[in-house]
Amino acid sequence: MVHCSSSRWASAWRDPRRCAADCAGSPRQRGRPDRKRRPVSDLSTDIWVLVCTTDELGVGEGVKVGTCPPIALFNIDGDYFAIDDTCSHAEYSLTDGYLDGDQIECELHYATFSVRTGEALTAPATDPVGTYPVRVEDNNIYVAATQRCVIDKFRS
């Protein structure tokens, strides 16, 4: 019951399984249906986060951006793309996967996603991952993150 909020404490006390359903795992594991992920670019993206320089991210490489939720930034033939770093199927880090051209393969269940669009290309993933705007200025690569994303990361 450590993970339960105080408002759920009484019901969790009566039924420990409810606590487990409310607090553990992915939305599906928590007893809620999977939510469709909408592109992050639909949200307020007015905070630009400096990720690295163009010299630090070579062609065919990716890097995990330590925001909340985490973002994956990739260099595809000199073009930069940013997507959610979390697989929409199993909530696993995509930067730990295998990058082949403009597709990233999740290491856990081998679902593939388009780095350019976030589209789920192969099963078992069916939902896309969110995309983020990227800009390059003076060899610095910036990713647009939602205000909440950045505030949650740096809140003490």
Q: Please give the residue that has the higher pLDDT: either 85 or 11.
A: 85
Would you state the structure tokens that stand for residue 145, as one six-digit string?
A: 């993150």
Q: Average the pLDDT over 88-112 and give the result.
A: 96
Q: Average the pLDDT over 3-12 and give the result.
A: 35
Cα distance between residue 70 and residue 85, in whole Å: 5
Residue 92, pLDDT > 50, answer: yes
- Integer CA distances (angstroms), 113 to 26, 27, 55, 96, 105, in order: 19, 20, 25, 13, 7
| Chain segment 21-72, per-residue pLDDT in tens | 443 444 444 444 444 454 554 555 468 999 999 999 999 999 999 888 899 9
Cα distance between residue 83 and residue 80, in whole Å: 10
Domains in the chain, CATH or no CATH each: 1-35 (no CATH), 36-154 (2.102.10.10)
- Integer CA distances (angstroms), 139 to 51, 96, 122, 155, in order: 11, 25, 34, 28
Give me the half-sphere count of Cα atoms (radius 13 Å) on the Cβ side of residue 36.
Answer: 3
Asked if 89 and 109 touch (Cβ cutoff 8 Å), the reply is: yes
Would you state the structure tokens that stand for residue 131, as one six-digit string?
A: 């995309």
DSSP string covering 30-63, please? TTSPPPPPPPGGGS---EEEEEEETTTS-TT-EE
